[in-house]
Chain A
Amino acid sequence: MANLSLKNVPQAIVESQIWKSIFRHGYTMNRRNRLLAITNNVFYHILPTKISKYGVRMRFHWGAGIITFYLFLILTFTGVLLMFYYVPTVPRAYYDMKDLQHVVPFGNILRNMHRYGAHAMVFMVMVHMARTFYTSSYKPPREFNWVVGVILLNFTFLLSFSGYLLPWDQLAIWAVTVGTNMARATPLIGHEGPFANLIGMKVNNDIRFALLGGTTVGSATLLRFYVLHCIGFPIILTIFIVVHFWRVRRDGFSGDVPVRE
């Protein structure tokens, strides 16, 4: 008890059994511990323990994939918070947005971040795709991860599109009216598409009807898009992101091994 001064507190904490049971390896300047810091952590062990100095530069990877992923995390966080105030019904949705803007504490910045974050994510996913194209990262053995990437691109669009309806303002309803009416023009499964009349497609049995839950964009549509936006698409995107990261690890980062000779 003698040397119980404030100076010793941090060390006492770091050396306590509780701390050590959680963090196995201190940040000591030794190579072994640094490797173990990666491999022994459930979140980090998807990363390799070392990366080539060539590939690790921002100039090579532009940070685009990392930022896209981080934006997805921000969107998940802000989105879950928004769900505490937003009710997906026609009488309430729009006024809940107004409340978020004007009366909910920090509601406006939360909403802004969610909205701008979505725009930024769409942009960054395109930038990331361009980067992987220009570094030929889609070539063997990474062909499949490029395909997974295109699927991610697609679901990023779907996520943005489904979220766009939720504020229930004029931008929302017309974007979704036009977007879902393209579905009715799909060949075979949309009632105005080519050959659809051959299999008896009508306004109330085609793909658009299932998407809208009715014949016009209305309360059923709002609920459907809400469920897809908050649960369906994020889960699918998460699954594919997991596969994507796993494949980056298994196939090797292209900046690590420029060419297999």
Chain B
Amino acid sequence: MATTEKSGKTEQAARRAARSVPTASSERFELTWPYFMYTIVICFLLTTIVLWVWSMVAPAPLEPIADPNRTPNPSKAPWYFVGLQELLVYFDPWIAGVALPGLILGGLMAIPYIDKNTHGIGEYNYKDRKFAVWVFSLGTVFWFLLIIIGYFFRGPSWQWYWPWENWEIHKESHVVTHSWSLLGGSLFLIGYTAVGLIIPVLIPYLIGPRVKPASWIKKFCDALQEFYEKRGATIYTIEMLLLLTMLGIPVKMILRLYFNVKYILEIPAINLNI
């Protein structure tokens, strides 16, 4: 399962050789003029056609004039911010609106500096970078999932309406949310972080030596150990904290939607309500 650096490189080289177009020799290259120009012009033409037809058939929305005394019910942001709007339901504004977007943008910018894996440049390579591909895809899917929830599953008063439910029929709701105690909340958060951070490091040491060498558990332990050792303590911690933050969001969403939890941890004195 775990490919070593060297065999990975060799495999990659073999794959590249097998590809009909190897890297640097000049008959493998195409002149920009005119061949790449065709690509560009076709992209431009197709974009123009799509945009033009779209603009001809669908009038852009223009709602009634702005009125600060009346908010349309429901009031939805443009689609690319609906995910953010949905996040604002679960977290305080400074977390959902400032800290999390900051972490997303900062985390994106940090990707090249925390992903030290040099495999796969210039090719669609899943095999040698499973973790990276999984995390990125999970984040993207989750972001669009939030958008879909906000766009299709939220109705008047931002309540949950299934797409087949009529918004005209008013849905009554008498939900009352409550927060966890300071002790319970801090224990939960500390536990969550600790489990996420420490358990993956501990498993290979605790379980690894006790299982049969060829079993899948052993392979799993080895993979975890390699995962940690490749990264080193600092990058491992940064990566895991970012990952745990991302996975923590659906945890809070479930707690709110099914258990009416307002805050897991509530410290109003310093505005820290999670």
Interface residues of A (CB under 8 A from B): 27, 31, 34-35, 37-38, 44, 47-56, 58, 63, 66-67, 70-71, 74, 94, 97-98, 101, 108-109, 111-113, 115-117, 119-120, 122-123, 126, 129-130, 133-140, 142-143, 146-147, 150, 153-154, 157, 160-161, 164, 167-175, 177-179, 181-187, 190, 192-195, 216-217, 254-261
Residue of A94, A138, A161, A259 with most partner-chain B CB within 10 A: A259
Residue of B nearest to A54 (CB): B21
A–B complex contacts, Cβ < 8 Å, 22 sampled: A31-B31, A35-B31, A38-B32, A53-B21, A55-B122, A63-B43, A94-B65, A109-B52, A117-B51, A122-B80, A123-B80, A134-B124, A136-B121, A146-B109, A150-B108, A169-B63, A178-B85, A178-B88, A185-B98, A187-B98, A190-B98, A259-B122
Assembled-state Cα–Cα distance A181/B32 (Å): 49
| Secondary structure call for the A interface | helix
Q: Which of A38, A54, A111, A115 is the one whose CB lies under 8 Å from B28?
A: A54
Q: B118 — which chain A residues lie within 8 A by C-beta? A: 139-140, 259
Q: B79 — which chain A residues lie within 8 A by C-beta? A: 119
Q: Once the chains bind, are B55 and A112 in contact (CB under 8 Å)?
A: yes
Interface residues of B (CB under 8 A from A): 12-13, 16, 19, 21, 23-24, 26, 28-36, 39-40, 43-44, 47-48, 50-52, 54-56, 58-68, 70-72, 75, 77-81, 85, 88, 92-94, 96-99, 105, 108-109, 111-113, 115, 117-125, 129, 133, 136, 140, 270-272
Q: Which of A67, A160, A161, A170 is the one whose CB lies under 8 Å from B72?
A: A170
Q: Once the chains bind, are A109 and B55 in contact (CB under 8 Å)?
A: yes
Q: Once the chains bind, are B129 and A136 in contact (CB under 8 Å)?
A: yes
Q: A138 — which chain B residues lie within 8 A by C-beta? A: 111-112, 115
Q: A119 — which chain B residues lie within 8 A by C-beta? A: 78-80
* Known contacts A31-B31, A146-B112, A182-B93; A174/B51 CB under 8 A: no
Q: Once the chains bind, are A74 and B123 in contact (CB under 8 Å)?
A: no
* Cβ of B3 to closest chain A Cβ, rounded Å: 15
Q: A192 — which chain B residues lie within 8 A by C-beta? A: 93-94
* Cβ of B124 to closest chain A Cβ, rounded Å: 6
Q: Once the chains bind, are A168 and B77 in contact (CB under 8 Å)?
A: no
Residue of B nearest to A34 (CB): B33
Q: B108 — which chain A residues lie within 8 A by C-beta? A: 129, 150, 153
